[in-house]
Structure 1
Amino acid sequence: MRPSRSVIAAAVAAVAMGTFTPAALAAGQAGNDDQNFVVTVHQGNLAEIAAGTDTRMNAQDTCVKDVGRTLVKDHTKLDTDLRALAQKLDISLPDKPTEAQQAQLKQIQGKAGTPGYDTAWLKAQADAHQATLKTIDDEIARGDSAQVVAAAKDARPVVAMHLDMVRGGTCHVMG
């Protein structure tokens, strides 16, 4: 079986950068950009799970609570799959969202039990899902690891659906 052009291109690039080892190529390890993608998306999943869980106690609008439940369910599934891939590719994952993600949720929680919470939560989710879609699209277009690109392609419709649910900072429950 002949290696694909992308495998050959990755090997050539790795040789040029001095990071090539035959064992790494055989193991199908992800490059630095692919690893960064996995870590970034994992932390995004953790942030979405925390934000979705938070709506149970702090949102006033039923639609926001419904979207929150959907985020928890979908991002838990996405992250379970991503963790398995990270383990397979020997990518170390952090155990919590970024400091900025944690700070944003705390800021939103400061409006708990008010309509301002729902508005701030929806806007934050719209921004986060828009950024995640860009990250996913970048990985699909430029990723070196076929496995990581496949994970990005699998996640894309879920994240796009979530964006549709919060687009423009307005809540839309999908059927």
Structure 2
Amino acid sequence: MRHHSRFAIAAAVVAVAMGTFAPSALADRHGGNDDQKFVVTIHQGNLAEIAAGTDTQMNAQDSCVKDVGRTLVRDHTKLDTDVKALAEKLDISLPATPTTDQQQQLRDIQDKAGSGGYDTAWLKAQEESHAATLKMIDEEIEDGGDAQVVAAAQKARPVVEMHLHMVRGGTCHVTG
């Protein structure tokens, strides 16, 4: 179970793909612990990815975008249970929703529903956020203090790279 939880956290880092990091109020509540903020960020991103991936099923025009969206929903729905388990183990309170910025970003993309502009905006947001997530992972790997969280970040890196590849250049690439 311990290994499975680490993998779940790692893959959930991908979830950050739809927005910004956790609210600064969490830093105060958790004493500024960067490992805890990292876990909260992963969870909120996970929630955002599930919402964004689900939305592609209703609003994307391109079947590839829908396929990528399904992949993200599948990965993050499956993994969020383990993210919650690790957070509980580490005594980290998790919010019930994505950040306000993540929610707004999805609404902005939804405004383009019914057009190719939706697919383009969705892919661009995914690419930008995955690149930012890789940077955050590298920072956690280098500076993280909790061995479990650092291990999760190390395992997440190839998953995030795979998802980034799927949306690189604002073009959809399904990897079989």
Normalising by the residue count of structure 1, what TM-score does the alignment of the two structures yield?
A: 0.80
Counterpart of 1:145 in structure 2 is 146
Q: Report the residue type matching 1:78 in the other structure.
A: L
Between the aligned partners of 2:54 and 2:133, the Cα distance in structure 1 is: 19
Shift of 1:80: 2.3
Take 1:77 and 1:134, find their aligned partners in 2: how far apart are those partners? 24
Number of matched pairs? 147
Q: Which amino acid aligns with 1:135?
A: M
Letter in 2 for 1:115: G
Deviation at 1:31, TM superposition (A): 7.3
Contiguous gaps of at least 5 residues in structure 1: 1-29
Deviation at 1:145, TM superposition (A): 0.3
Shift of 1:79: 2.4
4+ aligned runs moved over 6 Å, structure 1: none
Which position in structure 1 is the counterpart of 2:28?
none
Structure 2 segments unaligned to the other structure (5+ residues): 1-30
Q: 1:47 — aligned with what?
A: 48
Could you tell me how far apart the structure 1 residues matched to 2:128 and 2:74 are? 20
Q: Secondary structure at the match of 1:51?
A: helix
CA-to-partner distance for each residue in 1:45-73, whole Å, 9 max, x for gaps?
Answer: 11111100000000000000000001111
Higher relative contact order (CA 8 A, sep 6+): 2
Q: Whole-Å Cα distance in 2 between the matches of residues 127 and 35 of structure 1?
A: 23
TM-score, L = length of structure 2: 0.79
Is residue 116 of structure 1 aligned with residue 117 of structure 2? Answer: yes
State the secondary structure of the residue aligned to 1:111. coil
| C-alpha distance in 2 between matches for 1:165 and 1:54 | 17
Which of the two has higher C-alpha Rg? 1
